[in-house]
Homo-oligomer: A and B are copies of this chain.
Amino acid sequence: MAEADLSDPRRLRAEIRAGRFDAPTAGVGGDALQANLVILGAADAADFLRYCQANPRPCPLLAVGAPGDPSLPALGEGIDLRHDLPRYHVWKTGELAERRTDIADLWRDDMVSFALGCSFSFEAALSDAGIPVRHQDAGRNVAMYRTNIPTRPAGRFSGPLVVSMRAMPAADAIEAVQICARYPLAHGAPVHLGDPALIGIADLAAPDYGDPPDIRDGDIPVFWACGVTPQAAIVEARPDIAITHAPGHMLVTDIPADRAEAILTGIRPTIT
């Protein structure tokens, strides 16, 4: 039997749904936009929506599902969030309770799903511009840090801004600011650069999440708002249940990543 074409997002989701693919989604799905997933019950969803809208840098909203509806038609045809991610994390009262490859039996008719932008899009744009993305070159996860910058609270959701850090020469940092400013749905321009102590980071070599960074002579550290921020807020809020993607195991959409801003901000009305 021929192998399925994993660069086609719909075929990839079909493989995932059939239980034949449960690996990280980096490098599959072709050039399709990938997204972070958060699923909450109705009691928490309204506050979380307000939290995302108040904190668009760490929590760029790509799409919000209708209550009880596991599809996200704005992001792709036939998406079923109960099956279509390779791996899920299930959180109970703020603690990681279970790792799953399918959440059909946990779905409730009050559940609301949130797809949030991730850093994949802008890292691809940086690479295309010849800017080093050192953790990728080293085959590591990006280094992430809790800062002393508070997010804007909404209901029970609050907590510090979490940032990812990429080190690069200053001229690359200047170009990276300009490139990333064009991707507000992928965390946008950096939030800080230079001295880490100014945002409450004591030691770059000891990240709070991810792997220690590779920093070269002449590099300047550049910090972006990070999609771990909403996960930290969920831990803080302790909802009875929250379901998220497992790190690296993202929702693969039908939207070409390089056209996501135009499509999702309404300049282009539909996925073509």
Query: Which A residues form the contact surface with B (CB < 8 A)?
Result: 170-171, 173-174, 177-178, 181, 189-195, 198, 218, 220
Contacts and interface: CB of A to CB of B under 8 A. Distances in A.
A193 B193 CA distance: 9
A180 to B, nearest CB: 10
When all copies of this chain in the complex are counted, the total is 2
B171 A191 contact: yes
A193 B178 contact: no
A191 B169 CA distance: 11
A106 to B, nearest CB: 41
A195 B171 contact: no
Contacts of A170: 192-195, 198
A6 to B, nearest CB: 37
CB-CB nearest 6 A-B residue pairs? A177-B177, A194-B220, A170-B192, A178-B181, A170-B194, A170-B193
A101 to B, nearest CB: 40
A192 B220 CA distance: 11
Contact of A198 (B177, B191, B195, B218): B218
Residue among A174, A192, A218 with the most chain B CB within 10 A?
A: A174
